[in-house]
Amino acid sequence: MKRRKQIYHKNFSLIIAFLILISISLVFALALGYNLTQKYIENEFASQKIDVLEQTVKPYNDLFQNKIPEISFYQGFLDSASAIKYLNTIFTKFPFVERAFFYDASISNHKITNGFKVNNFTINPKAVYQFGRNILPDSVVLFKDNNPNSLSMRTTDEFNKMAVKFTEFIESSDTSKTLSNDDIFNVFYSITPNRITYMNIPRQEELKIFKNLMFRNQPPSLFYEQDMLTFYLNPLRLQIKNTHPELYQHILIKPLVYESLDNEPEIISNDIPLPGAFSDYKLYFSSNKAFLVKEVNSRFLPIASGLLIVYGMLVLIAYVIFRNLNVNSKMFKLQHDFIDNLTHEFKTPVSVIKIAGNNISSASHLSNHERTHYGKILDEEADKLNYLMNRLLSFTQIENKAIKLKEERVELSVFCENIINTYKLKYPNFHLHYHLEKVEYYKTDPILLASIFQNLMDNAYKYSLPEKKELNITIQKVKKNIVFCFIDKGIGIPQKEIENIFEKFYRIQNQYNQQGSVGLGLALCKELVNFMNGSITVKSREGKGSEFIIELPYEN
Amino acid sequence: MQIFRKYFWLCGLIILASCFKNKQVRIIPIEDFFKNPEKTAFAISPDGKYISYLRSYKNRLNIFVQTLEGGNITRLQTDTTRDISYYFWASNSQILYVSSKNGGIEGPKLYAAKRDGTHTRELAYFKKTWLRLITEKRAINDEILVALNKRDSTVFDAYRLNIQTNQLTLIGINPGNVTEWFADPEGKLRMASASDGVNETLLYRSKESDLFRPIITNNFKTTVIPLGFCKNYTCIYALSNQNRDKTALVKLDCVTGKEHHVIYNNQKVDIIEGMYSNAKHQLVYATYETWKQQRYYLDNDIKGMYTRLEKMLPNTEISITDQDSAEQKFIIKTYTDRNPGTFYLYTITNNKLIKLGDINPSINKEEMAEMKAVKYKTRDGLEVNGYLTLPIGKADKNLPIIVMPHGGHGGPSSRNSWMYNAEVQFLANRGYGVFQMNYRGSTGYGKVFWAAGFKEWGGKIQNDIADGVHWLINEGIADPKRIAIYGSGFGGYSALHGLCFNSDLYKCGASYSGLINLFTYLKGVPAYHKAFQAMSFEMVGNPETDADYFRLASPIFHTDRIKAPVLIAQGAGDPSVNVNETNQFVKELKKRNIPVTYILKEDEGHFFKKEENKWEFYKQLEFFLKSNLNKK
């Protein structure tokens, strides 16, 4: 008894310790998780701006890498009509391109009035056009070489820059080598804030010709066409692609020198400069702290719920372990009781036999009456022991499925008569009745069936008040089954005990079973019925009586 | 068990059949198709005592000389960088040859050497000049005529060059518009043709001291090609399509420029050649090309000679490539669609034929596929002729097809002919049917057909190609899922155009030095071809006024329409293409994840000349086609 208590106590403290430990872990993990999420969001706020930048300047890169080099495909053959067609595709696709200047230039060794000249090499604009949104038709043509004095510094600014670069290149380059990517970028592109100028890349052959024009005195040459386009860009018309609206509340394009002047501590901000022709501007990112907290919370939620699920599972496991331990300790108790009962059960007959034996041996002589008396006692007690042992044995056998059914035809009326007569002899105050309905015989093992009858009849007798020892047995066929009902008017079974009465070693604690009961009867019945592929159920009302119903398959 | 046995036999049969098939078609190595000719360009010395030829030496064609009997073989010069492109016997002891210097950057140069290989010298060498031959055969008194752009890099003047003393005499000053000079058999410069870009003028003078007088002027669409003079130099024989659609063989008066009469013409096709005999001072036959070349004889002796030759060499095409001065010994070349060419020496006196050599002995004609003439109607009812070469040992159904539009002179102005074509045979040997067509704009079918291709490079010409492919599919010959398009020059342009605008028709496409931008193509007409620019504008279009058409027809503007895998082979020195542009083109395709095979050779021009570069290209092409056409 002491040992059992110890075990029980120990388990409980372990589980408590376990629960405390995991609860502390949970709290710690939640705190850590929240902190990390916060850090993570802060990092994201700083790092994802590159992604936004990439997406935002994608059209610019497309313009720069694909559409602008396309000018070279025209090989200098662009004129105002084809240039406007080309530019219209640009204006529709890239809203940030506001205007474009188109210099229809020619290269030769002729004398020129407007243009750029190194040795004999001249490059001059034949015409300058201005295209763009909202440009009045009369301001499209800025210059034509049939009106030589109309060229202003403002319009030729980019042209001059490019012409200088190009002549410098012609002067110094090795024209037998193919152009490297560096040459192309340095000579044919000019990128200044909000402006990109591009000149078409001439073929290798032409570069050679240009070099000859520069350094040789040749007769007047052909005019070699070159196209130059200047694109005026407005960075404020770049479409901002906020790919992380959860991080950035506001993204704005601001001048590079811009700093927010409101010292509101609730605002977190960051910036990144725009590339290429937009390098005077930057993307300015800002978010309210509360906004970010919301994001932290929403990211933290799945983490927290994950942790809680794990925690819940651990608690569940702890509970299951606890329950198992409980059941085990109950089992332990039941077994202990059983042994107690059994010992008791064996002790009585043994002590009676012992007393009888002592009496016989200590008596100087035995009268005839005494001899028969002792004989009868010894006989009865031996029977009792035998009965106990048989029962134990058969139970173990059934449990281990070690017995075999010996089926034979049982005439039910004969069977019932016999068993009732035996009980009437045994308990004269026990009123037994039986009733058959639509059934005469049953094919089964009579010994097992008798065992079930005996158990249930014993119980009915045992758990009935002396004046109400009464049992009605009805046997009937219902569909393919045979149903045995044992209805008594005993003390009944409390509702909460009904589940347990078929358990092994279970006994209801009351005054009727102080002795001679080991809690095996109903368990044995259930085992037997199961063994015969049937079922046993019970209905009971406390103080009124119980009804045990056994259903067994009826075989023809 | 029964079923198993049945299948077992079936499997066995299939294996047997495939073994049989494999035996039939041997995969011939690429090198065998595209190696330099073993021996080619046979020629005979004027006295008929020596035979010369080009033969591979260290993988480059060099000139060799031997006696008629094959003794005394001498290698005339040593050139291991470039093949000799042209040579001829100037006299009994002198051979002149043309070779490019500095890897072809500088243009062709003229050299002379003695028959025994001594006294090799460079003639008329000036820096940065190009040289063209006016005399192509035989020097007269050690003098030949050449054209040089020495005085002005944009025009070629005519000079008389003494090949012994290297003395150069200016005999014809080019006023700037002369595009070609012609000499009579005595070596006198009597004719010139001039062009102002659109109109061509034929000029004549009776004496070298006289001035050239124009005799005929015509639009560039009309051609008058002088072939030779009549006995007293007052009239010429010429190929002319003046006032007619198809070129005819005519006799022209040198003074009035009027046609005496038509010597021969054909209703369906142009006359492409008139053979002039210097010994007889007259035309001996005319050649016209229907589905293959045919001859019309104008001289009974020649007719007799060809008849005898045809009897000795049945089922082949015969042509005379050279002869001695006495016209007694002839170099004969024979060829078929399956034979690259064999040279013979024919002596007229004893009617004897001696085999001199094969151009490519590695090619066994039994393993080559037959080239069949086909024709189809286009969507606008035009009849287009073409050739179909189907692989040996395969049913004529559901075949993988390579569509091969021809190129030529930078544009479409050329035609496919019935003859051995290494590319075609190579592709047929690899199991593909090869489809070639003479779409509108091709030459040989008359002026109208040719001019129908003007400004239609990206238009009706491409429709003709696509219509041909549809015809081939309807005939059941082509497997519509396994058609590729491949070509060089204009053919490469057509391939890229097809990938852009007929992308559902082709599984993949390959362009070998193909044009990708018409703007660049027009810019690429070199400065000394200034005369051709106006003509180019009429044939291709004006890049300024037709900018929209140029944009629409140039594949470089339409990379976004290409969906199929592309192979592009390009020599960096190709003047008709800007390599920066090709790079940009490839870059854009790659950006769109289109599989691109790009073969760029820095040391090559329009076509790959070096054997190893050719082999690499064809190996890549073979792999490209195999990986794209063999998966169904």
Of the candidates B32, B552, B44, B102, the one whose C-alpha atom is nearest the C-alpha of residue A73 is: B552
Q: In CATH, what number is assigned to the domain containing residue A431?
A: 3.30.565.10
Same-domain status, B356 and B373: no
What mean pLDDT do residues A103-126 have?
86
On whether residue A263 sits in a domain, the answer given is no
* Distance of alpha carbon B376 from alpha carbon A122, whole angstroms: 55
At residue A183, the pLDDT reads 86
Q: Which residues is B110 bridged to in the sheet?
A: B98, B123
CA distance B544 to chain A (A): 5
On whether residue B592 sits in a domain, the answer given is yes
CA B534 vs. chain centroid, Å, equals 24
Choosing among A75, A201, A225, which should be mutated to test the B contact, i.e. which has the most B CBs within 10 A? Answer: A75
* The domain boundary residue, chosen from A237, A256, A283: A237
On whether residue B161 sits in a domain, the answer given is no
At residue B511, the pLDDT reads 94
Neighboring chain B residues of A85 at a CB cutoff of 8 Å: 547-548
At residue B197, the pLDDT reads 67
pLDDT band with cut points at 50, 70 and 90 for residue B19: very low
On whether residue B527 sits in a domain, the answer given is yes
* Sheet of strand B86-89, all strands in order from the earlier edge strand to the far edge: B86-89, B94-100, B108-114, B121-123
On whether residue A179 sits in a domain, the answer given is yes
Of the candidates B362, B374, B446, B365, the one whose C-alpha atom is nearest the C-alpha of residue B403 is: B374
pLDDT at A509 exceeding the cut of 70: no
pLDDT in tens, B349-387: 888 899 998 988 899 988 999 999 999 999 999 999 999
Q: Which two tokens stand for residue A523?
A: 């368990």
On whether residue B37 sits in a domain, the answer given is yes
Q: Which two tokens stand for residue B417?
A: 């002919």
Same-domain status, B460 and B373: yes
In this structure, of A144-153, A468-477, B240-249, the range with the lowest mean pLDDT score is A144-153
At residue B336, the pLDDT reads 93
Count of domains for chain A: 2
Please indicate whether residue A155 or residue A95 has the higher confidence score (pLDDT). Answer: A95
The sign of the dihedral angle between the CA atoms of B273, B274, B275, B278 is negative
Q: Which two tokens stand for residue A190?
A: 């000019």
At residue B301, the pLDDT reads 87
Same-domain status, B416 and B559: yes
Range of the domain at A125: 58-237
On whether residue A226 sits in a domain, the answer given is yes
On whether residue A247 sits in a domain, the answer given is no
CA distance A149 to chain B (A): 26
Neighboring chain A residues of B105 at a CB cutoff of 8 Å: 176
Q: Do A203 and B588 touch (CB under 8 A)?
A: no
Neighboring chain B residues of A81 at a CB cutoff of 8 Å: 547
CA distance A82 to chain B (A): 6
* H or E element, residue A88: helix A80-93
CA distance A75 to chain B (A): 6
A203 touches chain B (CB under 8 A): yes
pLDDT in tens, B393-416: 888 889 999 999 998 777 888 899
pLDDT band with cut points at 50, 70 and 90 for residue A385: confident
pLDDT at A5 exceeding the cut of 60: no
* Distance of alpha carbon A68 from alpha carbon B44, whole angstroms: 59
Task: Return the residue of A nearest to B520 by Cα.
Answer: A75
Q: Which two tokens stand for residue B161?
A: 């060059």
CA distance A105 to chain B (A): 14
* The domain boundary residue, chosen from B305, B339, B361: B361
* The domain boundary residue, chosen from A237, A255, A287: A237
At residue A447, the pLDDT reads 78
Torsion, CA B524, CA B526, CA B527, CA B529, rounded to 10: -120
Q: In CATH, what number is assigned to the domain containing residue B339?
A: 2.40.128
pLDDT band with cut points at 50, 70 and 90 for residue B20: very low
Neighboring chain A residues of B517 at a CB cutoff of 8 Å: 73, 75
At residue B631, the pLDDT reads 62
- Residue from the list A73, A79, A85 with its beta carbon closest to the beta carbon of B581: A73
Listed in sequence order, the residues at least 6 apart from B49 whose beta carbon sits closer than 8 Å to its beta carbon are: B67, B68, B92
At residue B1, the pLDDT reads 44
In this structure, of A210-224, A395-409, A505-519, B374-388, the range with the lowest mean pLDDT score is A505-519
Helix axes of A181-188 and A153-172: crossing angle, nearest 10 degrees: 150
- Grouping H, G, I as helix, E, B as strand and the rest as coil, residue B46 is coil
Q: Do A75 and B579 touch (CB under 8 A)?
A: no
* The domain boundary residue, chosen from A217, A237, A257: A237
pLDDT in tens, B496-505: 999 999 999 9
Q: Which two tokens stand for residue A77?
A: 């053959």
pLDDT at B70 exceeding the cut of 90: no
pLDDT band with cut points at 50, 70 and 90 for residue B462: very high
Neighboring chain B residues of A74 at a CB cutoff of 8 Å: 519, 543, 547
At residue A504, the pLDDT reads 64
pLDDT in tens, B311-347: 999 889 998 888 888 888 999 999 999 999 999 999 9
On whether residue A322 sits in a domain, the answer given is no
Task: Return the residue of A nearest to B587 by Cα.
Answer: A66
Q: Do A77 and B519 touch (CB under 8 A)?
A: yes
Count of domains for chain B: 2
At residue A507, the pLDDT reads 65
Q: What is chain B's percent helix, strand, coil content, to nearest 5?
A: 25, 35, 40
On whether residue A32 sits in a domain, the answer given is no
- Residue B56 burial (CB count, 10 A): 16
pLDDT band with cut points at 50, 70 and 90 for residue A136: confident
Listed in sequence order, the residues at least 6 apart from B162 whose beta carbon sits closer than 8 Å to its beta carbon are: B142, B143, B168
Judge contact between B130 and B148, C-beta under 8 A.
yes
On whether residue B403 sits in a domain, the answer given is yes
Neighboring chain B residues of A184 at a CB cutoff of 8 Å: 580
On whether residue B581 sits in a domain, the answer given is yes
Of the candidates B511, B509, B503, the one whose C-alpha atom is nearest the C-alpha of residue B484 is: B509
pLDDT band with cut points at 50, 70 and 90 for residue B257: confident
pLDDT band with cut points at 50, 70 and 90 for residue A23: very high
Same-domain status, B342 and B386: no
On whether residue A9 sits in a domain, the answer given is no
At residue B332, the pLDDT reads 92
Listed in sequence order, the residues at least 6 apart from A191 whose beta carbon sits closer than 8 Å to its beta carbon are: A197, A276, A277
Listed in sequence order, the residues at least 6 apart from B249 whose beta carbon sits closer than 8 Å to its beta carbon are: B227, B237, B238, B239, B262, B263, B264, B265, B271, B274, B283, B286
Q: Which two tokens stand for residue B459?
A: 């238009």
Range of the domain at B620: 369-629
On whether residue A323 sits in a domain, the answer given is no
Neighboring chain A residues of B572 at a CB cutoff of 8 Å: 178
At residue B632, the pLDDT reads 52
- Grouping H, G, I as helix, E, B as strand and the rest as coil, residue B516 is coil
Q: Do B543 and A75 touch (CB under 8 A)?
A: yes
Number of residues that this document lists for chain B? 632
> What's the ipTM?
0.70
pTM surpassing 0.80?
A: no
Listed in sequence order, the residues at least 6 apart from A182 whose beta carbon sits closer than 8 Å to its beta carbon are: none
* Distance of alpha carbon B152 from alpha carbon B155, whole angstroms: 6
Same-domain status, B347 and B454: no
On whether residue B282 sits in a domain, the answer given is no
A73 touches chain B (CB under 8 A): yes
Q: Do A77 and B550 touch (CB under 8 A)?
A: yes
pLDDT at B106 exceeding the cut of 90: no
At residue A184, the pLDDT reads 87
The sign of the dihedral angle between the CA atoms of A233, A236, A237, A239 is positive
In this structure, of A232-246, A295-309, A534-548, B569-583, the range with the lowest mean pLDDT score is B569-583
pLDDT in tens, B532-559: 677 788 888 888 888 889 999 999 999 8
Listed in sequence order, the residues at least 6 apart from B340 whose beta carbon sits closer than 8 Å to its beta carbon are: B37, B358, B359, B360, B363, B420, B422
Judge contact between A414 and A422, C-beta under 8 A.
no
At residue A3, the pLDDT reads 44
* Distance of alpha carbon B456 from alpha carbon B463, whole angstroms: 9
Interface of B with A (CB under 8 A): 105, 152, 517, 519-520, 522-524, 526-527, 530, 543-544, 547-548, 550-551, 554, 556-557, 572, 575, 578-581, 584, 588, 602
- Grouping H, G, I as helix, E, B as strand and the rest as coil, residue B463 is helix
Q: Do B557 and A73 touch (CB under 8 A)?
A: yes
